[in-house]
Structure 1
């Protein structure tokens, strides 16, 4: 994109007009021009305003050609009564079932299907009125079973109500952070490039962990690999923490080592009762949120020269977990999201 710079007078006038804007789409158009005219890239504006790149370029071209009047003009070809309410409902249903990457694809679909021509800006405004925004779909396991997940949530709620006063509930899972730098979004001064050293490390720290959902205290074990024996070691650690408990309900996925003969035999005389989640439902395992927060603190935008330094940082996070208790508690709320409902 050729350099586009606004004068201070233009910026001031646009800010005044933005403050007076009564419609969100007008405000978004003005914000687009202000940001682009003060050094932001198109990609940065896309991320900030959740608009697609095609729309951003269209707003810019309109402003360059005709100023604020052209930018805010709503001369929408094909609108103004040409699409009936029932047709708009059909379009809305279609867009709910099909995700288009560009506005032009939707314009083409409407032209072919309904014989109505829209401009890019006109279709953008229509989508905004229908409450669409430009974002990625959420990736979920292809075989997720929504009904099985709902049944688990019902069981979990009943378990919390009926368990003994001294009993505990844990969520358990393994994690395998790799010794390599992970670049993540952060606040960096415009016009500067902040470098993050990378390395070629492929070694991993294997962590078998569980978290008590009541007091948010994690129990972890480290091993060369996560298998039946390391799982038994972790379960023994959990048991030692709760000598008064009659039962310790430990919720986990269907990993082979959790269902192994060795673990099954150990459980015969253990207080621990494994509760297996439905297949393909990581969304129900609350410890996944702990792993995500762990990666944010330990991995994101961090560089560790040696594997020993990396492993030390991983262990330090769990030794100092009380420091993060408030943040962890806010993340591990029991608002389970059911996935696979669109299939």
Structure 2
């Protein structure tokens, strides 16, 4: 008799995720489901009847879990017909990969071959690393001069302002972006062996856009300019005041680009009747400016895997998205373009280069 509630909290969460993942291999999902049912107190006979299996299979799966944990449930002849790694070897492999951070399955296969004398296929290595709870992705870029105290103070100030915002006040977030007329290939799911390509556009023409976004409404103000400078900043701020005629005060968050601090901008701000209040984001902190997220969404929707024969077509697509699509359909993008800020600390990430 298998006692219920034998799973740890972490293992229960991992197995639940596997069982619910529609993309997980069916054999692995069934094993996860069986172990979860046993954990609930079902007998091997009840589980086997529910899953249309024999009870000896359920017992063998439970033994696999007991001896190797969750990773063992996902192993199916991963070595391409050779014997599988032992639990001790898997533990050592995981420790090595955690330290070495191998960049390819070839490096992993070489390590396994030279250390344990086994040869894995590429698909077997991918399954093996997934079973060890590894994923392949690029490291994040973390600025080397982040000021934690400045980030914390900024987030607190921003929260106070938002929570105390009057009915006759608004907040917008500004920045500049410079899309270049080039094709940006991006990863997609495709049939194995298929040849998929995007026509290459390698133009050097680029746009200069100075703009803001209002997260409350999704409204944007986008100025295409010859150069992003103090003059374009003044033009942008003027258009904001003209757009928010009923607001007593408009708070504008900007980065610390030199043109945002230019004397001409300061002189404009000192003119009588100005309703704009400027706030500056800490240096090296683009993650604290929601409009940076808008630029990312723009590229995903307009430039990734998209070909524009002419710069005119490219520019029209960019401006239409920023000026029309985003404001009209902001509900589609609002979950990704947010002011859900968090402090970034390089110490929270493992730095893999010196």
> How does the TM-score come out when normalised to structure 1?
0.69
CA gap of 1:142–1:341, structure 2 versus 1, over 3 A, is closer
5 Å matches for 1:296-315?
296-315=300-319
Q: Equivalent residues in 2 for 1:320-335 (5 A)? A: 320-321=324-325, 322-335=327-340
Separation in structure 2 between the aligned mates of residue 226 and residue 207 of structure 1, nearest angstrom = 7
Give runs of aligned pairs for residues 252-267 of structure 1, distance below 5 A: 252-267=254-269
> Is the 8 Å Cα contact of residues 72 and 131 (structure 2) preserved in structure 1?
no
What is the distance in 1 between the residues matched to 2:129 and 2:317? 47
Report what 1:272 is aligned to.
276
Contact 2:142/2:346 (8 A) holds in 1: no
Deviation string 1:53-107 (CA, Å, 9 cap, x unpaired) is xxxxx93xx22x34xxx3xx45244689xx9xxxx9xx79x95x8856579999x
Q: Is the 8 A contact 2:214 2:220 kept in 1?
A: yes
Aligned to 2:166: 164
Structure 2 Cα separation of the partners of residues 212 and 17 of structure 1: 48
Q: Which runs of 5+ in 1 are unaligned?
A: 1-14, 31-57, 110-115
Structure 2 gap ranges (5+):
1-24, 33-64, 121-125, 349-354
Query: Secondary structure in 2 aligned to 1:151?
Result: helix
Aligned to 1:152: 154
Matches within 5 A, 1:113-262: 133-262=135-264
Distance 2:277 2:127 in 1: 55
Supply the distance in 2 between the matched residues of 1:166 and 1:100 (Cα, whole angstroms).
55
Cα separation, 2, equivalents of 1:132 and 1:166: 50
Helix, strand or coil for the counterpart of 1:173? strand
* Alpha-carbon shift at residue 28 of structure 1 (Å): 4.3
After alignment, is 317-326 or 223-232 more displaced? 317-326
3-state SS of paired residue (1:248): strand
3-state SS, counterpart of residue 205 of structure 2: coil
User: Compared with structure 1, are the counterparts of its residues 192 and 329 closer, same or farther at alpha carbon in structure 2 (3 Å cutoff)?
Assistant: same
Q: Normalising to structure 2: TM-score of the pair? A: 0.67
Name the CA distance, whole Å, in 2 between partners of 1:197 and 1:209: 30
Query: Residues of 2 paired with 1:195 and 1:134: CA distance?
Result: 23
Cα shift at 1:174: 0.3
> Aligned partners of 1:215 and 1:253: how far apart in 2?
22
Aligned partners of 1:194, 1:287: CA distance in 2, in Å?
32
Does residue 21 of the first structure (1) align with residue 25 of the second (2)?
A: no
2:342, 2:233 → 1: CA distance? 27
Structure 1 vs Structure 2 CA RMSD? 3.6
Question: C-alpha displacement at 1:203, in angstroms?
Answer: 0.8
